Each structure stands twice: as structure tokens, then as C-alpha cells.
């Protein structure tokens, strides 16, 4: 590579439309020039979850204005974009097709190559955009949406799965438990805020697979236990669950969060011990949870382990992580962008099958 290249990244896998521009050279970390994000949360709140068709249509409305915003903020012209990257999967098929279609159309119009990126790899590498970027190798705790995974990461594209969820992921446990408590969509963040008011020892909830001897996760049983405990409280007060007193709801939220966080922390520490590594990276939406960060920071500090997170505003889905992942793959020689504009998407795409 003889000159710095600009990568335009487009993210449209679910309910956020993200666009970003990253500049990178042959050495050093890529530089984020600008990024813009539109969240569809308000639109989906009325339905209590993401409606795929509505999500796809909204991506169509947002992606080009966001692209213009990013170019304006970066001071770059569209013709200065060298590579157009997009989320190829996993995600909602229709939503993915919007980003892929726009990216390939832009590439064809500009005569520039395109590159499909794995959504989870974007999350995995997003801490490299932070003020305190990690160094390889490290253990990664990836807690994003329907995914909870522990991996050994030796470099870009060099990932070894250590453990993963066998049913509900941590994010699903947060969101589904929040819905049972009558909290607004998306529930995970709301549950975390409510938990700050509650007693985390008020209700004894299970810690699934905590002592399993492996690094796998399971949160479906916890979700069921939260449902049972919530119904018990509602019967005791002779009211609907969502009408429970605020402090009861806060105690339920705090007890639920404590169970999820304890499992994530203990399994992460076990992964560090198993690999002998002294660096942990936490990425994905659940990585923004304040209690998870507090406990991981404390435990890693006791063990002289460095822990890294994305910036809070980059924990959610965003175009910056897609542009960054594309830039790092190109920089490391793991993949080549191509001037081929026929595209497909992979709604189901395991991270360990990233080369397929």
C-alpha cells in the first residue's frame, strides 16, 4: 500500500442505519474521519420489538442522507472514497440487502471496489476506535444482540471460539426480562437504569452454567425464572406485573442484572485463566452496561489484566465499526476489495465461518 485509503462503511443489519468514513495507511491504526447514526427505536417501540419490513424501508430513507452528512463532516468528496464496505451479515435479510445494494451501487457508479463485512467482526474490532485501543492477542467477550461468545483473538481474522450461548444470549435475557417488567423497548438499557435503584440480593435467581466447567452460556432458564418470580410478586400484590411498586420492579431488575453480570464476569475470567492471556476486550451492546464494566474493571485490576471497551456511543450497531473492520482486514492482507457488484447477504453467518 503506497498511499492512505478512505473506506466508506455502511451498517444496516437491524434497526440502526450507520455510515462512517475511515482513513488508513499501511501502518498504524485506521483513523475515523466522521460517522453518523440513525436509530429506529422510536418507530419500533409501538410494536415492542423490531418489525423487519419497517426496518428495511427506513434504511432506504436514511442511508443516502447519512452518507452525505458523513462526507460533509469529513470534508471529503464522494470521489475520494477508495473502498465501499457494507455489512453482509448476520442480520435481517431485507435490512442487509438495503446496505449491500446501496454500497454496490455506489461502488459501481464510482468505479471503486466493495467489501462485505461480518457484523460481529465489526463489533469485535470496534475497541480499536477507542482512546485506549487493545493489542493482539486478547480474549474477547462479544455480547451483541442475540450473540454471547468468548473468543481468543490472535489477529485480524484469527479467531478461536472458546465458548458461546446455547440458547438465549445475555442481550436477549436483558430485553425479555425488561419486557416482563413492563419496561419500554429496547429493554436492556432501561433495566440497567432501573437496577441502580434496587437491591441485587432481593431475589435469588439462577446463574446458568456458572459451574459447568466450560465457557458456554445459557440464559433461557434465567429468563423463565424472572417470569416466575415476577408472577409471584404480582399475585402477592394482587395486581398486574407492570403495575408492581417501583421498588419491587427495581429489586427484580437489580437481581436479574446481577445474575447476568456474574455469569459474564466469571466466564470471562475463566477464559483468561485458560488461555493465559492478560488482555480482555468487551464489545457489543451489552458492553455498555455500567455494572458489567464496574465488575470487570475491579476483577481485572486484581489480576493485572488490561480490559478494553468501545467508546459508549460505538457500543451499538454503527457504520464506524464496519468501516474499521474493512480497513483492518485490508491492512492485514486478510481480504481484498473487489470490483464485483453482484451481491448477496448472509442473515445467518457464524463468525468462525468468516472466510466462507
Helix intervals (H) in the chain = 41-45, 52-74, 93-110, 119-125, 170-180, 187-195, 220-237, 246-275, 290-302, 319-332
Distance, in Å, from the CA atom of 274 to the CA atom of 12, rounded to the nearest integer, reads 36
DSSP string of 206-244? --TTTTSSSS-B--HHHHHHHHHHHHHHHHHHTS-GGGS
Name the residue among 121, 80, 71 with its Cα closest to residue 332.
121
Task: Give the model confidence (pLDDT) of 16-75 as tens digits.
Answer: 999 999 999 888 889 999 999 999 999 998 888 899 999 999 999 999 999 999 999 999
Q: What's the pLDDT score for residue 146?
A: 84
Distance, in Å, from the CA atom of 117 to the CA atom of 18, rounded to the nearest integer, reads 14
Q: Is 113 exposed, middle or buried (0-12, 13-18, 19+ CB in 10 A)?
A: middle
> Are 48 and 147 in contact, with CB atoms under 8 Å apart?
no
CA 54-57-319 angle, to 5 degrees, is 105
Q: What's the pLDDT score for residue 3?
A: 77
Domains with residue ranges and CATH for the chain: 5-125+315-353 (3.30.420.40), 133-309 (3.30.420.40)
Name the residue among 256, 258, 311 with its Cα closest to residue 283.
311
**Tally: H helices and E strands in the chain:** 10, 10
> Are 20 and 36 in contact, with CB atoms under 8 Å apart?
yes
Distance, in Å, from the CA atom of 262 to the CA atom of 264, rounded to the nearest integer, reads 6
By three-state DSSP, how is residue 290 classified? Answer: helix
Contacts of 281 (CB under 8 A, 6+ apart): 124, 127, 134, 138, 139, 140, 141, 153, 307, 308, 309
By three-state DSSP, how is residue 100 classified? Answer: helix
Q: What's the pLDDT score for residue 21?
A: 98
Q: Is beta strand 31-39 parallel, antiparallel or unpaired with respect to 16-24?
A: antiparallel
Name the residue among 61, 65, 66 with its Cα closest to residue 18.
66
Contacts of 176 (CB under 8 A, 6+ apart): 168, 187, 223
Distance, in Å, from the CA atom of 103 to the CA atom of 343, rounded to the nearest integer, reads 10
Q: What's the pLDDT score for residue 356?
A: 54
DSSP string of 244-276? S-HHHHHHHHHHHHHHHHHHHHHHHHHHHHHHT
Residue keyed to cell 485509503: 5
> Which segments in the chain show pLDDT lower than 70?
1-2, 355-356
Contacts of 216 (CB under 8 A, 6+ apart): 163, 164, 165, 166, 209
Average pLDDT, the chain: 95
Q: Is beta strand 147-155 parallel, antiparallel or unpaired with respect to 158-164?
A: antiparallel
Query: In the numeric block, which cell numbers belong to residue 220?
Result: 433461557
Amino acid at each position: 500500500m503506497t498511499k492512505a485509503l478512505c473506506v466508506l462503511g455502511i451498517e444496516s443489519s437491524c434497526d440502526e442505519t450507520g455510515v462512517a468514513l475511515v482513513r488508513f495507511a499501511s501502518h498504524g491504526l485506521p483513523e475515523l474521519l466522521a460517522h453518523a447514526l440513525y436509530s429506529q427505536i422510536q418507530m419500533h417501540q409501538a410494536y415492542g420489538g423490531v418489525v423487519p419490513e419497517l426496518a428495511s424501508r427506513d434504511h432506504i430513507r436514511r442511508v443516502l442522507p447519512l452518507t452525505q452528512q458523513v462526507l460533509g463532516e469529513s470534508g471529503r468528496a464522494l470521489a475520494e472514497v477508495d473502498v465501499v464496505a457494507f455489512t453482509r451479515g448476520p442480520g435481517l435479510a431485507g435490512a442487509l440487502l438495503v446496505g449491500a445494494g446501496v454500497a454496490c451501487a455506489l461502488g459501481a457508479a464510482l468505479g471503486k471496489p466493495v467489501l462485505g463485512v461480518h457484523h460481529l467482526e465489526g463489533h469485535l474490532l470496534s475497541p480499536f476506535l477507542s482512546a485506549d485501543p487493545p493489542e493482539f492477542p486478547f480474549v474477547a467477550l462479544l455480547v451483541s444482540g442475540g450473540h454471547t461468545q468468548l473468543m481468543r483473538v490472535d489477529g485480524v481474522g484469527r479467531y478461536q471460539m472458546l465458548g458461546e450461548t446455547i440458547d438465549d444470549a445475555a442481550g436477549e435475557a436483558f430485553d425479555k426480562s425488561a419486557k416482563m417488567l413492563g419496561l419500554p423497548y429496547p429493554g436492556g438499557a432501561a433495566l440497567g437504569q432501573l437496577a441502580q435503584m434496587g437491591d441485587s440480593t432481593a431475589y435469588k435467581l439462577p446463574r446458568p452454567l456458572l459451574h459447568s466447567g466450560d465457557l458456554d452460556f445459557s440464559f433461557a432458564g434465567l429468563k423463565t425464572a424472572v417470569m416466575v418470580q415476577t408472577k409471584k410478586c404480582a399475585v402477592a400484590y394482587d395486581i398486574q406485573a407492570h403495575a408492581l411498586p417501583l421498588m419491587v420492579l427495581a429489586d427484580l431488575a437489580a437481581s436479574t442484572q446481577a445474575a447476568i453480570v456474574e455469569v459474564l464476569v466469571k466466564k470471562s475470567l475463566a477464559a483468561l485463566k485458560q488461555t493465559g492471556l492478560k488482555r480482555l476486550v468487551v464489545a457489543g451492546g451489552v458492553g455498555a452496561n455500567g455494572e458489567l464494566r464496574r465488575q470487570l474493571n475491579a476483577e481485572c485490576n486484581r489480576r493485572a489484566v488490561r480490559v478494553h471497551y468501545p467508546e459508549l456511543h460505538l457500543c451499538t450497531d454503527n457504520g464506524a465499526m464496519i468501516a474499521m473492520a474493512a480497513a483492518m482486514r485490508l491492512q492485514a492482507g486478510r481480504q481484498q476489495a473487489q470490483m464485483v457488484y453482484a451481491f448477496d447477504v448472509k442473515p445467518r453467518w457464524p463468525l468462525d465461518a468468516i472466510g466462507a
